Structures are given as C-alpha cells and as structure tokens.
Amino acid sequence: MTETTAAARTTPWWRGEWASLVAMLLLLTLARTSFANHYQVPSGSMEPNLMPGDRVVVNMMAYGLRVPFTDIELYDRGEPVPGDIVVFKSPEDGTRLIKRVVAIGGQAVALHDGRLWVDGKALFDADATDVEHFGDRAVMLNLAHGGGPDIDGLVIPEGMALVLGDHRGNSQDGRFFGLVPMKSLYARAEAVYYRSGEGFGWTRL
C-alpha cells in the first residue's frame, strides 16, 4: 500500500469524526439554549432568596420553546405569573438580569416602604411585613436598606410585567428601567444548586 493510498483512505474517516463532533457540540448548544441553562447571580438585589455568587438552574422552556438566540416562539406554554423569578435582558442596556415578577397586565400596583399592594390588597402580613405572599408562595424580603422608590397608582398594561428585586432598597429594577414585555421574560429560575460557603445543594425557588 502506497503512502498516498493510505492517506486517501484516512482522510474521509477524519472528516467523518470531525463532522460528528461538530454535530454533537451543536446539539448540546441547542439543548442548553432551548431547554435548560444556569445563571450566576451577580449582585445582592434578590437577597435573601438569592445571594451574590449563587448558581441557579433556569428553565428555558417554562414559558415556551424558542428558536435559539432569537425571540421567535415555536411553542407557547403560558406566561410568567406573579411570584416567578425570571431571567431577561435589561431594557436599558441588554444586560442579563434576574428579578421577581410582582404584577402583570391589568393589575393595579402600589409600593410603599418596599411593601406591595396589588389591586388594593396588601401582599404582606400585618405582623410580618418582610414577608409577601404570591398565592401560596411566601417570599422573604430584605428591607435593611429601606424600600427604595415608591410606586403609586400604576396599572400594568396588557402584555407587560413589573419586576422587582427582593432586596427592595438595593435593586435596580422596574422602578428604574420601566416595565418589561412579557415576551422578553424568557426563562424561570427553578433552584439554587451552588452557594458560596455551603457548596452544592438544591434549594427550590
């Protein structure tokens, strides 16, 4: 067998291997983008429920299936509901953020000293004003730095959402950059799987 013949037979094999490798990497990328991903919390705006450095599993299919890297929706699974912790791009500069949806289209919102009223009803307990209730979900707040800017008489337009940080006095949220289109809320945070000082675990959100 000549050297030329051996090389000719080897080349297609390597091409096949590289093609398989590229296809596998592409599939992994698509799966990560479309189905599940992770997010590292950059700040304390969601304390005490999310701490700086927390690593969070996010469900990319919670609200539907999209073409990767686009807003094109292939399959609708509903919309975020108040209480969901969502991942989205900041309307200001496109930075990826994580905040809590507190109100959606048609709801009237007031916020005083960091505490919410929705449709005229206080979401906090009279004897535990640092706890808010979204249905059967109880959310701890951090009010150590006050409540940040207040909100009065805001009615959320259809198709929009108000997102806030749980650390109300230390959060750059919807009070600063405005309401966020529901279609821009592309993933829901499900659980913290790693926390500095504690290591790996699974804390549902």
CA distance 79 to 22: 34
pLDDT given for residue 182 in this prediction: 94
**Full-model pTM:** 0.81
pLDDT given for residue 27 in this prediction: 41
CA distance 174 to 168: 11
* E strands present in 11-150: 36-40, 55-59, 64-66, 73-76, 85-89, 96-104, 108-112, 115-118, 121-122, 124-125, 128-134, 137-140
Of 159, 180, 194, 199, nearest to 86 by C-alpha is 180
In the chain, what is the straight-line distance between the N-terminal and C-terminal CA atoms, in Å? 65
Q: What residues pair up with 191 in beta bridges, in sequence order?
A: 57, 204
Q: What is the DSSP pairing of strand 108-112 with strand 180-181? A: unpaired
pLDDT given for residue 64 in this prediction: 80
pLDDT given for residue 37 in this prediction: 83
* pLDDT, block means (10 residues), the chain with 205 residues: 46 53 46 66 97 95 71 73 96 94 98 97 93 96 97 97 98 97 93 94 94
- 154, with CB counted inside 10 A (0-12, 13-18, 19+), is middle
Number of helices (H), then strands (E), in the chain: 2, 17
CA distance 133 to 138: 5
